[in-house]
């Protein structure tokens, strides 16, 4: 039984270390982890972590753009020796991915008698999940994505959590603003207590951080949020969001802002009924919320799309509950989705120095695949469930 996970580990290791096309070798540069360390070290040495930071090993200076609370959370990685920090960040990120998979698997195969099955599935899919372009890129950059994702997944999917539901989403939002959008998950499920808990937790942590780091907090919240405006809506090819698509068509503000708001509202009108129909299968509802979050965010680098990993397991689990004719269709859709997010089509096009603005029509289709394909998946789910009546009420767990 455990030979299968071992083979999965061996296959993933071969693909990432040799590497085998279309996979890329993990370089170990950890550029984002370098930025975290430089920002935190600058802060604790009395400097401005939102100002000009020292250059990274690739010879460029990158800004620290997260809220001040993140500096407290990331401090252990800032003062460890570089190799120890790299190793610790990598291992904790892979562990976070495994925990997220396990939480989804427990929702797909509930019951104490199926705990071993969930563990076996987790052992199989975790190494394979490393082959997805967003996951691979997150590990290569040393990004905090997986650590934040597991907080949200645990908060939303854990059965009878020992903490007040909503707290972990609030903590994640205090580290990085984007997870606040997952309050929508609680609202759709009419779990208003969890939604309020998330909002209050994030607000309280932010207020307490003002007391600990007053200067950094003032700079961030009243001084441009870490200069993130310079990256907002970037046309760079790895930015896979609504604003990025508009920017690549050379649409500028204020028209860009108007179109972004209109398209975000239209997307919300698609996402809300889809999440309601998925209410009896929380992993899918959470994945749909993730699609909305990523698309409306001004910056959604391809490595932010690590949500595709638990979403794929959720899609497989959903297919196992369908009549065989519909299940075959969902397995096919899942296989295509895997291919898209392993290949990362945007990475094979001309990029940098505003080349994205000169893409041909077909290059725009290929280069924006994460955007239109994720919308298509939500639309397909809505279409496939149009005649299916939910016989059970929405349950708040």
b/e for 183-222, b at 16 or more Cβ within 10 A? bbbbebbebeebbebbbebbeebbeebeeebeebbebbee
Torsion of CA 99, 101, 102, 105, to 10 degrees: 160
pLDDT for 19: 65
Mapped onto helix, strand or coil, the DSSP state of residue 239 is: strand
- pTM for the whole thing? 0.91
Residue 103: is the preceding peptide bond cis (ω within 30°)?
A: no
The pLDDT profile of the chain, 397 residues, written as one tens digit per residue, is 667 778 777 877 777 776 666 666 677 688 999 999 999 999 999 899 998 888 888 878 888 999 999 999 999 999 899 999 988 999 899 999 999 999 999 998 877 678 888 888 898 899 889 889 999 899 989 999 999 999 999 999 998 889 999 999 999 999 999 999 999 999 999 999 999 999 999 999 999 999 999 999 999 998 776 666 556 668 888 999 999 999 999 888 899 999 999 999 999 999 999 999 998 899 999 999 999 999 999 999 999 999 999 999 999 999 988 888 888 999 999 999 999 999 889 988 887 778 888 899 999 999 999 999 999 999 999 988 876 554 444 444 4
Alpha carbon distance 376, 357 (integer Å): 24
The full set of domain ranges for the chain reads: 231-397
b/e for 295-323, b at 16 or more Cβ within 10 A? bbbbbbbbbbbbbbbbbbbbbbbbbeeee
What's the gap between Cα 341 and its chain centre?
13
Question: Among the residues of the chain, which ranges form H helices?
Answer: 3-17, 31-44, 68-79, 82-108, 115-129, 133-141, 145-157, 167-175, 183-188, 192-212, 214-222, 242-248, 255-277, 282-296, 308-320, 324-343, 361-367, 369-384
Contact between 295 and 375 (Cβ < 8 Å): yes
pLDDT for 211: 93
pLDDT for 393: 42
Q: Which two tokens stand for residue 311?
A: 């979403």
Q: Which two tokens stand for residue 146?
A: 């997986």
What's the gap between Cα 214 and its chain centre?
29
Q: Which two tokens stand for residue 22?
A: 């279309």
Count helices and strands (H / E) in the chain: 18, 0
The backbone torsions φ and ψ at residue 129, rounded to the nearest 5 degrees and listed phi first, read: -65, -25
pLDDT for 230: 58
The backbone torsions φ and ψ at residue 338, rounded to the nearest 5 degrees and listed phi first, read: -60, -45
The backbone torsions φ and ψ at residue 322, rounded to the nearest 5 degrees and listed phi first, read: -95, 160
Alpha carbon distance 106, 104 (integer Å): 5
Q: Which two tokens stand for residue 67?
A: 């809220």
Helix (H) or strand (E) holding 148, with range, is helix 145-157
Strand partners, 239: 301
pLDDT for 392: 43
Q: Which of 380, 315, 361, 379 is nearest to 341 (CA)?
A: 315
């Amino acid at each position: 039984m455990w030979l299968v996970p071992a083979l999965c580990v061996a296959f993933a290791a071969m693909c990432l270390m040799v590497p085998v096309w279309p996979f890329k070798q993990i370089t170990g540069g950890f550029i984002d982890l370098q930025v975290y360390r430089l920002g935190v070290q600058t802060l604790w040495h009395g400097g401005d972590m939102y100002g000009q930071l020292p250059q990274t090993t690739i010879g460029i200076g990158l800004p620290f753009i997260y809220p001040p609370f993140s500096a407290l959370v990331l401090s252990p990685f800032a003062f460890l020796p570089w190799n120890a920090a790299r190793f610790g960040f990598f291992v904790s990120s892979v562990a976070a991915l495994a925990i997220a998979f396990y939480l989804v698997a427990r929702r797909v195969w509930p019951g104490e008698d199926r705990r071993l099955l969930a563990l076996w599935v987790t052992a199989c899919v975790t190494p394979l999940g490393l082959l997805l372009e967003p996951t691979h890129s997150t590990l290569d950059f040393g990004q905090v994505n997986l650590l934040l994702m597991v907080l949200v997944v645990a908060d939303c999917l854990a059965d009878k959590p020992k903490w007040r539901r909503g707290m972990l989403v609030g903590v994640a939002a205090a580290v990085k603003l984007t997870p606040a959008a997952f309050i929508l998950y609680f609202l759709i499920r009419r779990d208003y207590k969890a939604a309020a808990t998330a909002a209050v937790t994030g607000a309280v942590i932010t207020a307490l951080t003002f007391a600990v780091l007053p200067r950094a907090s003032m700079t961030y919240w009243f001084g441009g949020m870490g200069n993130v405006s310079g990256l907002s809506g970037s046309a760079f090819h790895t930015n896979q969001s609504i604003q990025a698509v508009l920017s690549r068509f050379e649409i500028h503000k204020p028209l860009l802002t108007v179109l972004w708001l209109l398209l975000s509202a239209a997307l919300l009108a698609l996402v809300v009924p889809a999440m309601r129909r998925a209410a009896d299968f929380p992993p899918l509802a959470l994945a749909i919320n993730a699609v909305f979050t990523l698309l409306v965010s001004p910056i959604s680098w391809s490595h932010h799309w690590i949500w595709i990993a638990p979403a794929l397991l959720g899609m497989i689990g959903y297919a196992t509950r369908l009549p065989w004719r519909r299940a075959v269709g969902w397995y096919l859709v899942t296989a295509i989705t895997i291919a898209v997010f392993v290949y990362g089509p945007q990475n094979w096009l001309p990029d940098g120095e505003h080349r994205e603005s000169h893409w041909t029509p077909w290059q725009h289709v290929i280069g924006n695949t994460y955007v239109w394909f994720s919308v298509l998946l939500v639309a397909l789910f809505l279409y496939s469930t149009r005649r299916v009546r939910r016989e059970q009420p929405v349950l708040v767990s």
